[in-house]
């Protein structure tokens, strides 16, 4: 009898236990899960493919003549702004996807896994960074076809896109926090739109703030989106915008330092 028990135990203990996943491998695994979701539902890529193209064409040719005298002239001013606007707007989908996992019960399963707890969020943000890069590439490529000529050259454009991605990833921590608080994805979408529309449209993305009423100029100039747009525009056109770049970096660090710990605390306590 004792020999049978030993034989049965050997069945379960003869092979070596697999190595526990570390933070990096766990994050990559959850990033792969997010990529699989895109593979099976490719329509969700419309927000980084079709929408940016529509926005750029619509604003360039509808308002270019009225604002700058010609669409080609306006494109030089518009593209950095609309690039920032479209990428910043899609940061909300990080929180929406997390909210779906919470409401569908997938969240509870993830919390029981023996993995680094933040890897679920980090993996999703890695894929989001890829989405931001794809959207930026599409926008800049289309702009070049339409006649956009960045005087800052390839390095200036690359640096501008990198700064935009850093800012967007830091901003997505706000939506992940709200994704854990809101009861449904519709409510989260409503709140995010209520915040993002005023911030993006009341910025220097489309027009020069000097043309605005004095009481509105102060808000527009200190709007974080305006600071980001000024930094991107300056980098792309080879203008010295060191102050705007530093301010954008400081804002990004502040967003991450404030909202990332809050998000993780909510993530641990979520029931």
155 inside domain:
yes
pTM, two decimals, is 0.84
Averaged confidence pLDDT in the chain: 83
Tell me what pLDDT residue 119 has: 79
pLDDT per residue over 170-179, tens digit each?
999 999 888 8
> Which three-class secondary structure state does DSSP give residue 52?
helix
Tell me what pLDDT residue 215 has: 83
How many structural domains compose the chain? 1
Cα–Cα distance, 143 to 212 (Å, whole number): 27
Tell me what pLDDT residue 46 has: 72
> Is the model's pLDDT at 12 over the cut of 60?
no
249 inside domain:
yes
Question: Taking the chain, what is the end-to-end CA distance rounded to the nearest angstrom?
Answer: 46
11 inside domain:
no
pLDDT per residue over 215-228, tens digit each?
888 888 889 999 99
Q: Which of 204, 207, 201 is closest to 241 using CA atoms?
A: 204
User: 231 pLDDT band (50/70/90 cuts)?
Assistant: very high
3 inside domain:
no
pLDDT per residue over 94-144, tens digit each?
888 777 777 777 776 777 777 777 777 888 888 888 888 988 998 999 999
10 inside domain:
no
1 inside domain:
no
Q: Which residues of 183-208 are buried (b: 16+ CB within 10 A; e: fewer)?
A: eebeebbebbeeebeebbebbbbbbe
Indicate the burial class of 227 (C-beta count within 10 angstroms; 0-12, 13-18, 19 or more): buried
The count of residues in the chain is 271
Range of the domain at 263: 21-269
Tell me what pLDDT residue 3 has: 58
């Amino acid at each position: 009898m004792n020999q049978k028990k030993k034989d049965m135990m050997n069945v379960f203990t003869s092979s070596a236990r697999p190595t526990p996943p570390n933070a990096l491998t766990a994050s990559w695994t959850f990033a792969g899960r997010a990529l699989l979701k895109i593979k099976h539902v490719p329509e969700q890529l419309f927000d980084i493919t079709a929408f940016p193209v529509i926005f750029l064409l619509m604003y360039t040719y509808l308002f270019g003549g009225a604002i700058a005298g010609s669409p080609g002239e306006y494109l030089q001013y518009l593209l950095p702004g609309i690039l920032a606007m479209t990428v910043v707007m899609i940061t909300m989908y990080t929180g929406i996807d997390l909210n779906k996992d919470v409401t569908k019960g997938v969240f509870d399963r993830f919390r029981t896994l023996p993995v680094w707890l933040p890897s679920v969020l980090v993996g999703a943000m890695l894929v989001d960074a890829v989405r931001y890069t794809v959207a930026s590439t599409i926008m800049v490529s289309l702009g070049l076809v339409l006649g956009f000529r960045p005087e800052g050259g390839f390095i200036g454009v690359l640096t501008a896109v990198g700064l935009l991605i850093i800012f967007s990833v830091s901003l997505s921590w706000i939506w992940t926090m709200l994704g854990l608080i809101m009861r449904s994805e519709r409510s989260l979408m409503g709140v995010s739109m209520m915040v993002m529309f005023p911030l993006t449209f009341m910025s220097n993305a489309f027009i020069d703030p000097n043309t605005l009423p004095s009481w509105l100029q102060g808000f527009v100039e200190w709007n974080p989106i305006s600071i980001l747009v000024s930094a991107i525009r300056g980098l792309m056109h080879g203008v010295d915008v060191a102050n705007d770049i530093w301010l954008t970096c400081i804002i990004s660090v502040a967003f991450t330092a404030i909202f990332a710990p809050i998000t993780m605390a909510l993530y641990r306590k979520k029931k």
